[in-house]
């Protein structure tokens, strides 16, 4: 290795290029090993998508480091890697899941489901259940044997000597008590047994059709164990050998079903996940169970998101304008104090407000005498939630508008003053239009955020008060995300990730449409700024 051949053009510091080079390679090597480890782990457990994402990221990092032209990208690569992992991969995953029946009872692929059922063993009705006494070879602690006894029921006892992969050997004795020594083996102490349970669990004693496995180490029982659920590839189904039931694979819904369409219909759980096309989407739009109060919920979602942005913006702008006045004393201290609601975690603020608003023990009702049904009346609950969100959100608006106010050139105001514009005219014709150009995109972001503001809704009143007479449970303050969250995870027969993903995608398209329209609208303000 020579310093001349180096492709590094980075700043040279205390380290010589050679050392730099070695450090770089070592760092990269560690990164690669870490990548391979992750890849291996994910591949091993069947998370192929995630494994592929890791592989792509690792490869890209290597390319970036070794291609000199991509030197500037090197500093972006951690961010890009995180974006692939945290943003792009989940999006692809969500889109994929939306077209499957991935849900409780359908969490595995078909082959995994078959393998899982294949692990279950049973003791056939005709098999004898033996009591065992563990023995270990005197000269080799890895050699185990079992002293098996079985009470025939007629006062005599059958005694067998069992070793791994050797035929069971009848012992000619009527005394079930294990001897002190047998064929070079000695009985194990109780304390030794725990240490070899794992070995006993994996081993099969005996040979051919005549075998026994340990069924309980605690009770010291052993018996012949056979696979209970056997998959038949030709018939595409699983047979339960205990009940002699045949569960045919239904590859449309991903279930093992016996006696389909009759009263005795039964399923073997877990089933497996399959692609179901647009079923989840059609369910969301056509199923009366899901559609139920959707219109009410959607209306409130839009209203809530709009009101949240509007109220916080108005109050934030008002505060910013006041604090912008040089004549106000202690401006810095006031500004710091007003930021506090933004600095406190939202959940804590909401809980504190909730306590204060409670009609039974809250300060509003008990000390101030404001007896308002903040939680039980649909209208007041909505007002309450907008007020709390105003408290949570105005500092942010105050921050961004103060910044934007500074950026408006003062000469425009001077020109306006010369033209005889009053303060009100200046605000409406200069401040607001120019401000909106700067903060418009942020307002849209805020709208999108509040459209999915699950935390506030859930922490305030869990979407309540309930709407009476709906087909599915919904509350007056439920927004789309909280309503569908409860549908997908808290109802039916357990968590339904497929449906949840489908709903997520629908919400994404709604928000995207609204955002696009908003950008169109704010584009008009940019026209204004060009003409000023």
State the nearest-atom distance from the C-beta of 199 to another protein, in Å. 10
96, 239, 358, 515: residue in contact with another protein (rule CB under 8 A): 358
Binding mask 82-121 for another protein (x = CB under 8 A): ----------------------xx-xx---xx--xx-x--
Would you tell me how many other CB atoms lie within 10 Å of the CB of residue 502?
28
Nearer to another protein, 131 or 448 (CB): 131
Can you state the angle between helices 454-461 and 480-489, rounded to 10 degrees? 70
State the nearest-atom distance from the C-beta of 276 to another protein, in Å. 15
Does 26 participate in binding another protein (rule CB under 8 A)? Answer: yes
State the nearest-atom distance from the C-beta of 140 to another protein, in Å. 19
Strands 205-207 and 221-223, sheet pairing? unpaired
> Residues 497, 98: contact at Cβ < 8 Å?
no
* Region of 145-153, 213-221, 441-449, 451-459 interacting with another protein (CB under 8 A): 213-221
> b vs e for 293-328, b when ≥16 Cβ sit within 10 Å of the residue's Cβ?
bbebbeebbeebbebbbebbbebbbebbbebeeeee
The sign of the CA dihedral 45, 50, 53, 54 is: negative
State the nearest-atom distance from the C-beta of 331 to another protein, in Å. 39
52, 217, 432, 455: residue in contact with another protein (rule CB under 8 A): 217
Does 466 participate in binding another protein (rule CB under 8 A)? Answer: yes
Does 345 participate in binding another protein (rule CB under 8 A)? Answer: no
Does 368 participate in binding another protein (rule CB under 8 A)? Answer: no
State the nearest-atom distance from the C-beta of 434 to another protein, in Å. 46
First CA to last CA distance, the chain: 62
- Please identify which residue in the block is written with the tokens 């725990």: 194
Does 201 participate in binding another protein (rule CB under 8 A)? Answer: yes
SS (H, E, C) 463-503: CCCECCCCCCCCECCCCHHHHHHHHHHCCCCCCCHHHHHHH
State the nearest-atom distance from the C-beta of 116 to another protein, in Å. 5
State the nearest-atom distance from the C-beta of 151 to another protein, in Å. 15
- Please identify which residue in the block is written with the tokens 């027969």: 493
11, 411, 468, 530: residue in contact with another protein (rule CB under 8 A): 468
Binding mask 392-431 for another protein (x = CB under 8 A): ----------------------------------------
* Region of 147-155, 368-376, 443-451, 524-532 interacting with another protein (CB under 8 A): 368-376
Give the CA dihedral 34, 40, 42, 47, nearest 10 degrees: 140
Does 375 participate in binding another protein (rule CB under 8 A)? Answer: yes
> Residues 456, 391: contact at Cβ < 8 Å?
no
C-alpha 293/C-alpha 477 separation (Å) is: 12
State the nearest-atom distance from the C-beta of 74 to another protein, in Å. 15
> Residues 479, 460: contact at Cβ < 8 Å?
no
Binding mask 232-261 for another protein (x = CB under 8 A): -----------------------------x
C-alpha 19/C-alpha 206 separation (Å) is: 62
490, 519, 521, 524: residue in contact with another protein (rule CB under 8 A): 490
State the nearest-atom distance from the C-beta of 290 to another protein, in Å. 9
Binding mask 284-313 for another protein (x = CB under 8 A): ----xx--x---------------------
Does 125 participate in binding another protein (rule CB under 8 A)? Answer: no
State the nearest-atom distance from the C-beta of 424 to another protein, in Å. 43
16, 18, 23, 40: residue in contact with another protein (rule CB under 8 A): 40
C-alpha 28/C-alpha 13 separation (Å) is: 20
**Size of residue set near another protein by CB under 8 A:** 77
> Residues 242, 225: contact at Cβ < 8 Å?
no
200, 309, 319, 388: residue in contact with another protein (rule CB under 8 A): 200
Nearer to another protein, 216 or 425 (CB): 216
Residues 146-175 that bind another protein (CB under 8 A): none
Does 15 participate in binding another protein (rule CB under 8 A)? Answer: no
By CB neighbour count within 10 A (0-12 exposed, 13-18 middle, 19+ buried), where does 359 fall? middle
Angle at 327 between CA 326 and CA 331, to 5 degrees: 65
* Region of 275-283, 338-346, 447-455, 489-497 interacting with another protein (CB under 8 A): 489-497
Longest CA span, the chain:
121
18, 63, 87, 197: residue in contact with another protein (rule CB under 8 A): 197
Where are the strands (E) in 289-390, listed by range?
A: none
C-alpha 21/C-alpha 31 separation (Å) is: 15
């Amino acid at each position: 290795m020579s310093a001349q051949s180096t492709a590094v053009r980075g700043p040279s510091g205390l380290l010589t290029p050679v050392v730099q080079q070695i450090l770089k390679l070592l760092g990269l090597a560690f990164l690669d090993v870490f990548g391979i480890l992750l890849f291996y782990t994910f591949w091993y457990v069947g998370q192929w998508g995630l494994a592929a994402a890791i592989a792509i990221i690792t490869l890209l990092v290597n390319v970036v480091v070794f291609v000199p032209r991509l030197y500037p990208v090197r500093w972006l690569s951690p961010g890009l890697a995180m974006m692939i992992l945290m943003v792009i991969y989940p999006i692809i995953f969500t889109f994929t899941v939306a077209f499957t029946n991935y849900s409780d009872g359908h969490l595995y692929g078909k082959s995994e489901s078959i393998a899982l059922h294949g692990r279950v063993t049973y003791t056939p009705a005709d098999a004898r259940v033996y009591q065992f006494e563990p023995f270990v070879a005197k000269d080799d602690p890895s050699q185990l044997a079992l002293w098996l006894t079985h009470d025939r029921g007629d006062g005599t006892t059958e005694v067998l000597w069992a070793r791994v992969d050797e035929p069971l050997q009848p012992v000619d004795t009527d005394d079930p008590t294990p001897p002190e020594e047998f064929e070079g083996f000695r009985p194990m102490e109780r304390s030794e047994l725990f240490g070899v349970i794992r070995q006993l669990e994996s081993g099969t004693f005996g040979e051919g059709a005549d075998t026994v496995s340990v069924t309980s180490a605690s009770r010291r029982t052993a018996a012949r164990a056979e696979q209970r659920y056997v998959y038949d590839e030709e018939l595409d189904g699983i047979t339960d050998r205990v009940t002699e039931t045949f569960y045919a694979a239904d590859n449309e819904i991903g279930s093992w079903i016996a006696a389909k369409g009759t009263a005795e219909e039964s399923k073997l759980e877990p089933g497996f996940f399959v692609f179901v096309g647009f079923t989840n989407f059609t369910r969301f739009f056509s199923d009366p169970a899901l559609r139920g109060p959707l219109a009410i919920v959607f209306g409130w979602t839009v209203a809530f998101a709009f009101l949240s942005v509007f109220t916080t913006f108005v109050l934030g702008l008002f505060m910013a304008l006041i604090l912008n006045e040089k004549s106000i004393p202690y401006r810095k201290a006031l500004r710091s104090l007003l930021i506090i609601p933004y600095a406190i975690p939202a959940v804590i603020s909401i809980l504190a407000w909730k306590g204060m608003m409670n009609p039974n023990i809250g300060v509003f009702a008990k000390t101030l005498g404001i007896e308002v049904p903040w939680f039980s009346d649909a209208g007041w609950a909505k007002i309450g939630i907008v007020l709390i969100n105003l408290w949570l959100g105005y500092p942010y608006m105050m921050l961004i508008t103060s910044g934007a106010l500074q950026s408006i050139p003062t000469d425009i105001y001077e020109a306006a003053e010369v033209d005889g514009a009053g303060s009100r005219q200046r605000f409406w014709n200069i401040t607001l239009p120019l401000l909106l150009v700067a903060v418009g995109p942020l307002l849209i972001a805020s709208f999108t955020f509040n459209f999915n503001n699950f935390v506030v809704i859930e922490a305030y009143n869990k979407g309540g008060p309930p709407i009476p007479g709906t087909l599915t449970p919904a509350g007056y303050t439920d927004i789309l995300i909280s309503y569908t969250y409860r549908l997908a995870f808290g109802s039916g027969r357990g968590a339904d990730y497929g449906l949840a993903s489908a709903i997520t995608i629908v919400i994404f398209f709604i928000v995207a449409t609204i955002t696009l329209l908003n950008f169109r609208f704010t584009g008009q303000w940019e026209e204004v700024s060009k003409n000023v």
